[in-house]
Amino acid sequence: MRGHVLQAAGYFAVLTALLWSSAQLLGDRLPPEAGLFGRPQMAALYWAVSTFFWLLISNSDPGALNVAARGSNPEPSRADDDPAKPRTMHVYAYDRVMHRPTSCDICKIQKPARAKHCHVCNRCVARFDHHCGWINTCVGLRNMRFFLLFLIWHILIMLHGFILGLVVLRRQVVDEIMHRMEEMAISTEAFEFFNRGKLWPTTGVPLFMEMRVAYHTEFRVFTLVSVLFLMACTVLGLLIYHMYLVLVNQTTYERLRYGMHRKRNENVYDRGFKHNIQEILF
């Protein structure tokens, strides 16, 4: 395994902690209306699927350039099985702004346009986007679609845990309101009638008061829901950013570097949304 093994192990630590906490705090407190997706056993299934996606992308080829490119300009190999040619899949033109004909002093090869040497993985990667320590590999020409799928999957499971946590908090708020109504000798029959069989009962209480009750009565669940929400928003932002880069046919590395070339930042690789998606994801 290349790269930062400890950071990759941190991914499994965070994943396990969140799924275990969700199963322990939410599993036995969800109503029957939550169905199959409310069972604690789903945490084990999510862990297994997440591990599968992690293994899929961490062992995928990001577009590593081999030594066959030494001293030559690499040719595309999507439909070329000639072992004497490097497997770069695409040949990009040098834009003469960021990408010029250069050689890698470490790999001893002539780098095609948009390729970069990753000092963590110690290899040149075609259409290099970035090195991700969480998956312990680079994201490049060949595995961008796996990386996006990896992000989408984690957004879905975090939103699922977030919604289930909200259901538990909501029901706790309802129970607390009913308890206070009973203390004040207020009839709860009408309240119970309108919320009977509802997965998301109504309270008629302002949202900020509901959040305050949830914080004081279910601090651990409230914390879990908050963490899941913040993490889901973070990963969603990362997904939106990379989807934008796919649409304009640009990489993270190029996006950061183009800030140094503001007067000459025309992207010569942008061929329109449709062609960009086909080129990068299919």
Number of neighbouring beta carbons within 10 Å of residue 221: 22
| pLDDT at residue 205, as a whole number | 55
Number of neighbouring beta carbons within 10 Å of residue 102: 11
Contact 18, 227 (CB under 8 A): yes
The residue assigned the tokens 């509901």 is 210
| pLDDT at residue 226, as a whole number | 92
Can you give the pTM of this predicted structure? 0.79
Residues 67 and 34: their CA atoms lie apart, in Å, by: 55
Residues 194 and 212: their CA atoms lie apart, in Å, by: 23
User: What is the mean pLDDT of the segment spanning 74-102?
Assistant: 57
| pLDDT at residue 32, as a whole number | 67
Q: Mean pLDDT of all residues in the chain?
A: 77
Domain ranges of the chain: 5-60+146-236, 67-127+249-281
Name residues whose C-beta falls within 8 Å of residue 208's C-beta, 6 or more positions apart in sequence.
Answer: none
| pLDDT at residue 229, as a whole number | 94
Backbone angles phi, psi at 45, to 5 degrees: -65, -45
* Token digits of residue 114: 């948009």
| pLDDT at residue 221, as a whole number | 87
User: What is the mean pLDDT of the segment spanning 75-87?
Assistant: 39
User: What is the mean pLDDT of the segment spanning 47-67?
Assistant: 88
User: Is the CA virtual torsion 245, 246, 251, 257 positive or negative?
Assistant: negative
The residue assigned the tokens 């409230």 is 222
Q: In sequence order, what are the beta bridge partners of 125? A: 64, 116
132 labelled catalytic: yes
* Token digits of residue 25: 């705090």
Active-site choice (121, 132, 138, 233): 132
Greater model confidence, 156 or 77: 156
User: What is the mean pLDDT of the segment spanning 255-263?
Assistant: 65
| pLDDT at residue 193, as a whole number | 46
User: What is the mean pLDDT of the segment spanning 258-267?
Assistant: 59
Number of neighbouring beta carbons within 10 Å of residue 57: 23
Q: How many CA atoms lie within 13 A of 106 on its CB side?
A: 11
Residues 199 and 190: their CA atoms lie apart, in Å, by: 17
Q: How confident is the model at residue 202 (pLDDT cuts 50, 70, 90)?
A: low
| pLDDT at residue 1, as a whole number | 47
Q: In sequence order, what are the beta bridge partners of 110? A: 103
Kindly report, residue by residue over 125-159, the tens digit of the pLDDT: 999 999 998 888 999 988 999 999 999 999 999 99
| Nearest Cα to Cα of residue 109 among 62, 76, 74, 63 | 74
Residues 69 and 224: their CA atoms lie apart, in Å, by: 50
The residue assigned the tokens 């949202």 is 207
